Amino acid sequence: MRITLLSLLLLSVAAATPARAELHITRDHGGYVEEYKAKYKRVREKGERVIIDGICNSACTLVLGMVPMNKICVTPRASLGFHQAYYDKAFTFGIKVTSAEGTSDLMSYYPNTVKDWIRRNGGLTTDMKKIKNGVELWKIIDPCPEEW
């Protein structure tokens, strides 16, 4: 009888404990900036944590400016990729055309640590500039604790 009561008590405590809300980024090559702004606004408002556990390129990197940095961490598989913003190819006959306004908008969201890294690496260009896991990335984002 004791084991059953103890089991029920533990089960009820576990059920009452809220699940950890988190966004797990593993392979995100980016997309439409406005969609990412809306997504990360929801993540921020819910107080979710973000684990970057793989590729986070292009518009995905907006997470760094929209979610508090103390809610973001990186695993050993993490990498970030930055480039200039482009107009939607549907409106440019399939040709990649950079957007100065869009690029400026992206930069306005990044924290100073990201802006400094981008400047030190030649600014945003049409080429993808990547930060892979290691000391350079850890200067921007903390490594994830073991329990994440």
Q: Residue 108: its pLDDT value, please?
A: 97
pLDDT of 55 above 50: yes
Average pLDDT, integer, range 27-51: 97
Q: Provide the token pair at 69.
A: 């940095």
Q: What is the mean pLDDT of the chain?
A: 87
pLDDT of 19 above 60: no
pLDDT of 37 above 60: yes
pLDDT confidence tier of residue 121, bands split at 50, 70 and 90: very high
Q: Residue 91: its pLDDT value, please?
A: 81
Is residue 33 within 8 Å of residue 61, measured between CB atoms?
no
Q: Residue 148: its pLDDT value, please?
A: 53
pLDDT confidence tier of residue 87, bands split at 50, 70 and 90: confident
Distance of alpha carbon 39 from alpha carbon 26, whole angstroms? 16
Q: Provide the token pair at 111.
A: 């924290």
**The amino acid at 19:** A
Q: What percent of the chain has pLDDT over 70?
A: 85
Residue the block writes with tokens 């990335």 = 137
Question: What is the radius of gyration, based on Cα positions, of the chain?
Answer: 19
pLDDT confidence tier of residue 1, bands split at 50, 70 and 90: very low
What residue ranges do the domains of the chain occupy? Answer: 21-137
- 2-16, 63-77, 84-98, 116-130: which has the minimum mean pLDDT? 2-16
Average pLDDT, integer, range 8-23: 51
**DSSP-based three-state secondary structure for 86:** strand
Distance of alpha carbon 28 from alpha carbon 114, whole angstroms? 18
Write the CB contacts of 100 (distance below 8 Å, at least 6 apart in sequence). none
Helix runs in 17-146, H state only: 33-46, 63-66, 100-109, 112-120, 135-138
Average pLDDT, integer, range 101-129: 96
Distance of alpha carbon 92 from alpha carbon 39, whole angstroms? 26
